[in-house]
Amino acid sequence: MIFAGDIRKQPAYREFKFKCVGSMYNTEYVMKNSFFVGVYPGIDMPRLNYILTVFEEFFEGVEV
């Protein structure tokens, strides 16, 4: 679910017709306020440590 967010807005689904019943508020919120990190079985400890280091460096400059 987080991967796609609002599936209607993904380019691969541009030509599909959708029927929506009610508000898409939660879908929009998830799409705009989530961060998806893809994973695969080959992530070993050195790679995981690298990922964490990059995240730490990135978030040092983010004000909350």
Summarize the confidence of residues 45-51 as an average pLDDT.
93
DSSP string covering 13-56: GTT------S--HHHHHHHHH-------TT--HHHHHHHHHHHH
Taking 60 as the threshold, does the pLDDT of residue 1 lie above it?
A: no
Residues near 37 by beta carbon (within 8 Å), at least 6 away in sequence:
51
Res 46: pLDDT = 95
Comparison of pLDDT for 29 and 46, the residue scoring more: 46
What is the mean predicted confidence (pLDDT) over 35-52?
88
pLDDT range class, residue 2, cuts 50, 70, 90:
low
Residue 5 has pLDDT above 80, yes or no: no
pLDDT, position 4: 67
